Amino acid sequence: MGRSTRKEAGVSRRAFIRRGATAGVGATALAGVGARGAEAQNFWDVSADFVTIGAGTAGLAAAVSALDHGASVIMLEENVDIGGHGMCSGGNVHLGGGTSNQRKHGVEDSAEQVYRDWVRHDHMQSRYSDRDLVRAFADENAPTFEFLIENGVQFQDHLVGPTGASQVRRQQRTVQWPVASERVTHHETRVGSGLVRALEKSARAKGAQVLLRHKMTSIVRESPSAGRVLGVTAVHDGRTVNVRALKGLLVATGGSTSNVNLRRTFDPRLTEEYQVAGEPWSRQSGDGELAAMAVGASLWGTANQTVEAGIAISKTRHIGCQWGYSSLIWQPNARIFDLARASGLTVTDWQDVILVNQLGRRFWSETDARYDFFAAAMADIGDESKRNGGGAIWAVFDHDAVEREGWDPQPPNVDPDGFFFSADTIAELAAAIANPFQAKPMPAAALEETVARYNQFVDAGEDADFGKPNPRYKVQTPPFYAAWSTPILHDSLTGLRTNPRAQVVDIHGDVIPGLYCAGESQGGFAQHGLGRCLVFGRIAGRDAAVNGGNA
């Protein structure tokens, strides 16, 4: 097959959509006929030098980088819009190594210092990292920051930190995208729109074609375990689209925490009750990891997912809604509020509630937010019907707590459709709780006993069960409330094995020609968030354009 041109990549959707085919059939057939046969059968609907699966943080950085090096680009995105988790993120970009911003703020830094910090043995985010990946990350830190500036990303005029394993200030926050209708949420802290929209604008201006609502279903390799990766099969409006990637295909599907089966590979406790921050906007689908493994890819650094640092799982601050992460609040004017359904009640003082499991029992001190809290929430609760995962966690409180917190416990603040309940007695409250993740009804007598015992602790000034410091308020004045408060998942800290060029590696340690991975789907480096996604996305796009996916 000849080299693709931007014109080829720009073929209209109507022209290349294969009607009537079913997803996956084409890919299977191709493995049998080989690349040449496939070409003869006119298998491909559209082609480009570089194809990204996912148009989030890593995919966008990779696309711009590949375009800068002369490649044509197609981005496949299952969502209705670009951005992924990057769109609703706080936009705190962790990049240093001697950037222009660091110099402006008088921070001394170097690639060597970045490397030293991110291989520290005494920090959870760096201890289990692949040092070859960290070396590449360190060397590309400052250039990646300048790349963002060159491509229109604007930053607020300050540096934050040190954060994570970094020992100097390296974190800077983007400026929110100015067009309100092109954001997903409008909260002043959700400024990640400024990062992904600027990269999208640049990628489109340089010629990228973005195919929205195209869900990747399989990766096409010459044979299932050998040869070159040739492209990808996607589904759009129920139709199969086969996309040829001439120089490289990038897995940038954002990690695996939305995939219960795959995430339990890394931590068997993470059963279905745990929701994912960033949903319902976009999924950390695990699709890229699974499709890549189906053609021979290997996982890497899986221990990182269970480091007990609290980055992978977090305590919700916005209770009574399904997706109550610590900083993300779905406001009623958010673009997808019909999906999110409620904003949640923001807890300012954990003394105002008690937290109980699905059996109506307290399990830990409510004021604690260390990993011990999560371990207790996910522990075996002694219920035969629920051995893995700790089940639903509910915040139980009374009218007085509502007054103290200044809450309005009504929609759209709360979601009465399974995530928020009220009643005039504790027993009625237990009976009212009906939620898909509450395996069986909460025993009313147990919740009554829990509340009575806790109220005694308040009288005594001491929590004899879990050591909550100076338990302050009784749960005594009706109406009583139960609000969804189950810990919520966040980062994928493991994924596919790659080399420092972001090329995917198989179980034998060999490069799979033509296949790249970046972002939270990439394993081996447990840094939280945008920094590593941007760096390895940029590396992947450049490498594919320059080296064509060859080892």
Ligand X SMILES: Cc1cc2nc3c(=O)[nH]c(=O)nc-3n(C[C@H](O)[C@H](O)[C@H](O)COP(=O)(O)OP(=O)(O)OC[C@H]3O[C@@H](n4cnc5c(N)ncnc54)[C@H](O)[C@@H]3O)c2cc1C
Contact residues toward ligand X (CB under 6 A) are 53-59, 76-79, 84-86, 88-92, 94, 215-216, 252-255, 277-278, 282-283, 285, 287, 325, 328, 519-521, 528-531, 533
Q: Which is nearer to ligand X, 317 or 362 (CB)?
A: 317
Q: What is the smallest separation between the CB atom of 109 and ligand X, expressed in angstroms?
A: 17
**What is the DSSP code (8-state) at residue 442?**
P
Cβ-based neighbours of 384, under 8 Å, separated by 6 or more: none
Rounded CA separation 185/330 (Å):
7
Half-sphere exposure (CA, 13 Å, Cβ side) for 85? 29
H/E run at residue 40: helix 25-40
Q: Which is nearer to ligand X, 315 or 361 (CB)?
A: 315
Q: Which is nearer to ligand X, 252 or 496 (CB)?
A: 252
Q: What is the smallest separation between the CB atom of 493 and ligand X, expressed in angstroms?
A: 10
Q: What is the smallest separation between the CB atom of 362 and ligand X, expressed in angstroms?
A: 28
Q: What is the smallest separation between the CB atom of 462 and ligand X, expressed in angstroms?
A: 37
Structure tokens at 271: 């059963």
**What is the DSSP code (8-state) at residue 444?**
H
Q: Which is nearer to ligand X, 301 or 531 (CB)?
A: 531
Q: What is the smallest separation between the CB atom of 430 and ligand X, expressed in angstroms?
A: 32
Rounded CA separation 517/501 (Å):
9
Amino acid letter, residue 110: S
Q: What is the smallest separation between the CB atom of 398 and ligand X, expressed in angstroms?
A: 30
Q: Which is nearer to ligand X, 171 or 358 (CB)?
A: 171
Rounded CA separation 307/371 (Å):
10
Q: Which is nearer to ligand X, 240 or 351 (CB)?
A: 240
Of 490, 508, 489, 506, nearest to 498 by C-alpha is 506
Amino acid letter, residue 154: Q
Q: Which is nearer to ligand X, 204 or 404 (CB)?
A: 204
Structure tokens at 387: 């051995």
Rounded CA separation 18/15 (Å):
8
Main-chain dihedrals φ then ψ at residue 266, nearest 5 degrees = -95, -30
Main-chain dihedrals φ then ψ at residue 308, nearest 5 degrees = -90, 60
Q: What is the dihedral of CA 535, 537, 538, 544, to 10 degrees?
A: 140
Q: Which is nearer to ligand X, 275 or 357 (CB)?
A: 275
Amino acid letter, residue 13: R
Q: What is the smallest separation between the CB atom of 495 and ligand X, expressed in angstroms?
A: 9
Helix, strand, coil percentages (3-state) for the chain, rounded to 5, are 30, 20, 50
Q: Which is nearer to ligand X, 277 or 505 (CB)?
A: 277
Q: Which is nearer to ligand X, 257 or 499 (CB)?
A: 257
Sequence-ordered strand ranges (E) for 164-281: 171-173, 209-211, 215-223, 226-236, 239-251, 277-280
Structure tokens at 313: 């799982």
Rounded CA separation 54/234 (Å):
11
Tally the residues of the chain.
551
H/E run at residue 470: none
Q: What is the smallest separation between the CB atom of 80 and ligand X, expressed in angstroms?
A: 9
Main-chain dihedrals φ then ψ at residue 59, nearest 5 degrees = -60, -40
Q: Are the CB atoms for 408 and 420 separated by under 8 Å?
A: no
Q: What is the smallest separation between the CB atom of 63 and ligand X, expressed in angstroms?
A: 11
Q: Which is nearer to ligand X, 233 or 422 (CB)?
A: 233
Q: What is the smallest separation between the CB atom of 88 and ligand X, expressed in angstroms?
A: 5
Q: Are the CB atoms for 191 and 232 separated by under 8 Å?
A: no
Q: Which residue is nearest to ligand X (CB)?
A: 56
Number of Cβ within 10 Å of residue 362's Cβ equals: 21
Cβ-based neighbours of 167, under 8 Å, separated by 6 or more: 113, 117
Amino acid letter, residue 4: S
Q: Which is nearer to ligand X, 270 or 277 (CB)?
A: 277
Q: What is the smallest separation between the CB atom of 451 and ligand X, expressed in angstroms?
A: 33
Q: What is the smallest separation between the CB atom of 196 and ligand X, expressed in angstroms?
A: 7
Q: What is the smallest separation between the CB atom of 297 and ligand X, expressed in angstroms?
A: 15
Q: Which is nearer to ligand X, 357 or 494 (CB)?
A: 494
